[in-house]
Chain A
Amino acid sequence: DSGVTQTPKHLITATGQRVTLRCSPRSGDLSVYWYQQSLDQGLQFLIQYYNGEERAKGNILERFSAQQFPDLHSELNLSSLELGDSALYFCASSARSISNYGYTFGSGTRLTVV
């Protein structure tokens, strides 16, 4: 157990639907990062939050949104789902500076869009 909790572990949904992925960071970590991993695109950075505020944004689609709540857990919302959104979605957390410590990853949510 890495200390980063992601739910659900698996999700199967139809095209056009909306889903919410949840992440609880490791105790004491203020930063949460979301990544998408697919076979053709590799690990793609989506978005980062630090203590409730958006800090950095990657190639996140407009159909996707995220937020970090006061208790530091984060949710990634994916809407108008397409077949190509099928992927592993990882959440990671870090202490204040990733330059010193790196990330702690959760076990991921496998999303299948049918």
Chain B
Amino acid sequence: SQQGEEDPQALSIQEGENATMNCSYKTSINNLQWYRQNSGRGLVHLILIRSNEREKHSGRLRVTLDTSKKSSSLLITASRAADTASYFCATDDAAGNKLTFGGGTRVLVKP
């Protein structure tokens, strides 16, 4: 079963535009993480936001977390062709033993 659900499932933008994707989850979390996956490759950890944080930045990435709505968003600013990938949110379980991943958002950045 999937804890997080991403929206939209797919996104196509022009280089230089911003890309925003959302994640909703069902149960209480300790933290929420975002990962990127280039086609057929391993996932790469992008950013982690703890349940007591509301916003976090890392380079061109901005993540927000609203625990009252059980949702998070990932914003990629000034997108580049190299940002073309699938993006997944993931939440940990209460024991912090494993991450449960959402279905992902496929992002295509056109040059």
* Interface residues in chain A, defined as those with a beta carbon under 8 Å from any beta carbon in chain B: 2, 4, 33, 35, 42-43, 45, 48, 55-56, 58, 88, 90, 92, 97-108, 110
B101 at the interface (CB under 8 A from A): yes
Give the interface size class of chain B: 20 to 34
Check A88/B98 contact, CB under 8 A, given A98-B92, A104-B45: no
A98 with B98: CB separation less than 8 A: yes
Determine the chain B residues whose CB is within 8 A of the CB of A43 once the complex forms. Answer: 43, 88, 101, 104
A99 with B98: CB separation less than 8 A: no
A2 with B2: CB separation less than 8 A: no
Tally inter-chain residue pairs, CB-CB below 8 A. Answer: 66
Determine the chain A residues whose CB is within 8 A of the CB of B43 once the complex forms. Answer: 43, 90, 92, 103, 105
Determine the chain B residues whose CB is within 8 A of the CB of A48 once the complex forms. Answer: 97-98
CB neighbors of A among B68-100 (8 A): 88, 90, 92-93, 95-100
B48 at the interface (CB under 8 A from A): yes
CA distance A48 to B93 in the complex (A): 13
CA distance A28 to B71 in the complex (A): 33
CA distance A99 to B35 in the complex (A): 14
Determine the chain B residues whose CB is within 8 A of the CB of A88 once the complex forms. Answer: 40
A45 with B88: CB separation less than 8 A: no
CA distance A9 to B21 in the complex (A): 31
CB distance from B37 to the nearest CB of A (A): 8
CB distance from B66 to the nearest CB of A (A): 19
CA distance A39 to B2 in the complex (A): 14
A56 with B97: CB separation less than 8 A: yes
A42 with B103: CB separation less than 8 A: yes
Determine the chain A residues whose CB is within 8 A of the CB of B44 once the complex forms. Answer: 2, 105
CA distance A43 to B103 in the complex (A): 7
Determine the chain B residues whose CB is within 8 A of the CB of A55 once the complex forms. Answer: 97
CA distance A100 to B100 in the complex (A): 16
